[in-house]
Amino acid sequence: ETEHQNNQPCSFPYAAYDQELKKISLIKPHSIAPGANGFKFLKGSSWLNKVVFPVTREQFCRDVAIVCPEVGENVFPLNPGDVVTFKNGEVSYMKQKSSFVQMVEDDRYDLRFSPTNTDDCLIDDNSDNYDLEEMKQTIRSEICCNFPKFIKEKQDSLFLEYCHWNLIYQLEIVFPDETQQYYFDFSEENIECHTGYNSLAHVFTSIAASNFYGMSKGIKGWDSAHMGGYYRNFQKLYLPTPYGIIKPIEVNQENSSQVKDPLDLRFPYQEIFEKVRQYEVQRWKSSEVNPKVVQKDETKMLRIGNTLVRLSTNNNKVSTEEVTESLQLVGGK
């Protein structure tokens, strides 16, 4: 609960969670009702909700049922207002049957673990002023049509690890006016695009819509996304077993505990880089016959340099006072 405040790595606590599940297994409980996520930080402390609850309630219920198979169906996701009774060695669970407690709002989404969004959330300022509706239509077509088709084609090659580990990929697209959530479940025989948030997801990506749009059009690359602060990613990769949790085997040379973001596979760095370079070359070639483009893109230093060149060409003996006066005029624009 204090890693982020103490400048320590804020990632999924694999070792601690493994020990927690093993302790529960040793106890051999008859039934389990996880209630910790009923707690929530409020007001000035609310940002802690992004880092204090690394395991969703749905994940815990699934994991503990695998670690303790003898529990069977006696895993109860307790909400405020639910009632659990013990009588003659039997346990019964009744939703919203409390006479004095009632759940006003199901706000579990606020407790989702998101260590890359603890301070400032990702925003899309759409600095290139792309048409918003055009962006939304293009991105939806890419995610809902082209992306599933790409996954199906590469299911036995690029996405072999995703399918082997039955991973779930959560993709968040941040627009200037809204945020859209999609996920892909690689345990499905026919992998499709689903809308919404999946509480069992393993790989999480957030990206600004304008950058996603730019990559799909070949006019923006990964450098813009990463160095501009328009992309974030984190992963919590593990599988629950009766003996605790295990992490995926080494899947790449760069980081043995991570798999590649499907967006990296859909838009390979070098391929996108070449497209962006060609786009920029064509853009600047056209600017040679369109002085307005040059004039629009000129910086103050370029204007100063051009002024000096013109002065030198017109009169090699121009006085220092005249040059200074010209620079002052240019600098004051």
107 and 130 fall within a common domain: no
Count CA atoms closer than 13 A to 93's CA, side-chain side.
Answer: 12
Cα-based angle 20, 26, 32 (whole degrees, multiple of 5): 70
Are residue 269 and residue 128 in the same domain, yes or no?
yes
Range of the domain at 317: 298-331
What pLDDT shows up at residue 3?
66
Whether 95 and 127 share a structural domain: no
The closest alpha carbon to 207, from 243, 242, 169, 237, belongs to 169
Contact 112, 57 (CB under 8 A): no
pLDDT tens, N- to C-terminus, the chain (333 residues): 666 665 566 778 888 899 999 999 998 888 888 865 467 778 777 777 777 778 888 899 999 999 999 888 888 888 888 888 888 878 888 888 888 888 888 777 777 777 777 666 788 999 999 999 999 999 999 999 999 999 999 999 999 989 999 999 999 999 999 999 999 999 999 999 999 999 999 999 999 999 999 999 999 999 999 999 999 999 988 988 888 888 876 544 455 557 899 999 999 999 999 999 999 888 887 765 455 555 555 566 667 766 666 666 555 554 545 545 554 544 444
Number of separate domains in the chain: 3
> For residue 298, what pLDDT is reported?
57
- For residues 201 and 250, membership in a common domain is answered with yes
Specify the pLDDT at position 277. 92
Q: Would residue 153 count as lying in a domain? A: yes
Residue 133 lies in a domain: yes
Same domain, 223 and 262: yes
pLDDT of residue 96: 87
Greatest distance between any 2 Cα atoms in the chain: 107
Asked, for residue 284, whether it belongs to a domain, the answer is no
Confidence (pLDDT) at 140: 97
Q: Is residue 244 one of the residues assigned to a domain? A: yes
- In contact, 251 and 258? CB cutoff 8 Å: yes
Q: What residues have CB less than 8 Å from 198, skipping those under 6 apart?
A: 168, 170, 183, 185
Asked whether the beta carbons of 190 and 163 are under 8 A apart, the reply is no
- 3 occurs within a structural domain: no
Containing H/E element for 160?
helix 160-164
HSE, side-chain direction, 13 A CA sphere, residue 25: 19
- Tallying the residues shown for the chain, one arrives at 333
Tell me, yes or no, whether 288 lies in a domain: no
Of 126, 140, 115, nearest in space to 232 by CA: 115
Same-domain status, 101 and 127: no
The DSSP code sequence of 169-228 is EEEEEE-SS-EEEEEEETTSSS--EEES--TT-SEEEEEEHHHHHHHHHTS--HHHHHHT
d(CA 274, CA 258): 26
Domain check: are 166 and 103 in the same one? Answer: no
- The residue out of 111, 138, 160 marking a domain boundary is 111
CATH code assigned at 250: 3.30.1050.10
* pTM as predicted: 0.76
Let me know whether 74 and 149 are in one domain.
no
- Flag whether 5 is in a domain: no
Let me know whether 53 and 179 are in one domain. no
Instruction: State residue 208's pLDDT score.
Output: 97
Q: What is the structure's pLDDT at 40?
A: 79
